[in-house]
Amino acid sequence: MVFNINGDPVEAKLVASLARPGGNLTGITALSEELAGKRLELLKEAVPGVVRVAAIANQAHPGVQTELRESQAAAKRLGVKLQWLPVYSVADFDAAFAAVEREGAQALVAIPDNLINDRAKIIAEFAANRRIPTVSGWAEFSEAGNLMSYGPELRGFFRQIAVYADKLLRGARPADLPVEQPTKFELTVNLKTAKALGITIPQSVLIRTDRVIE
């Protein structure tokens, strides 16, 4: 059986290890240790004056501890104070938003998973009202009205899944197929949102942008 997961399949106990899954499951994971830090770097480059950043994350998401560790390391490297806001369900978002206001966060990182992605529009509305930039992992986050996203390119991601499904249909054993990570990533910037927030995206970011929403 083939899975696709935003988190860590080892932590979720789907496989024994990425290299040697064992059992009857293998697939593709979007979790990459470098991505959490890279998103924070891009946000800081796009809005250099930001020094206080809130990070909202599904604390039940497999791999969240990796995301936390890498986000904290990037924040320290960039001279940013990171406010970690764990949520467990839709009911927790109002409290998380209140904490962003209370601590005076100047930007928001949304650690990508299904719970966060499902609330992308709500996050965008909150950010627009508070005039703060946001970044997450999937292009649909920017499409929902948030400023930026950086993560796996969806067509390539699902193409990898299809390749693995084909291998299994041809007789390969899941235990023999290592769990793969995406090979292509995309940076999406919503210029309409940038304009509404009064942000001018630097050329150094724009020249690396794969998709612009206007």
pLDDT (tens digit, 9 = 90+) per residue, 67-81?
899 999 999 999 999
Same domain? For 202 and 119 the reply is yes
pLDDT for 33 equals 64
pLDDT value, residue 41: 95
SS3 172: coil
pLDDT at 99 (0 to 100)? 97
Q: Which domain holds residue 168?
A: 2-29+153-176
Same domain, 9 and 90: no
Domain count, the chain: 2
Q: Across the beta sheet with 134-136, what order do the strands follow?
A: 81-87, 52-58, 107-110, 134-136, 148-152, 185-190, 211-213
**Token pair of 208, please?**
């690396």
- Domain co-membership, 78 together with 41: yes
CATH number of the CATH domain containing 125: 3.40.50.2300
HSE at residue 201, side-chain half, CA atoms within 13 A, is 24
**pLDDT of 32 over the 70 cut:** no
pLDDT in tens, 38-66: 999 999 999 999 999 999 999 998 888 88
Strand, helix or coil for residue 141? helix
Both 19 and 39 in one domain: the answer is no
What is the distance, to the nearest Å, from the Cα of residue 209 to the centroid of all Cα atoms in its chain? 16
Sign of CA dihedral 4, 10, 16, 20: positive
How many CB atoms within 10 Å of residue 128? 16
**Phi, psi (rounded to 5 degrees) for 55:** -125, 120
145 and 91 within one domain = yes
pLDDT, residue 180, reads 83
Determine the Cα angle at 65 with ends 47 and 70, to 5°. Answer: 40
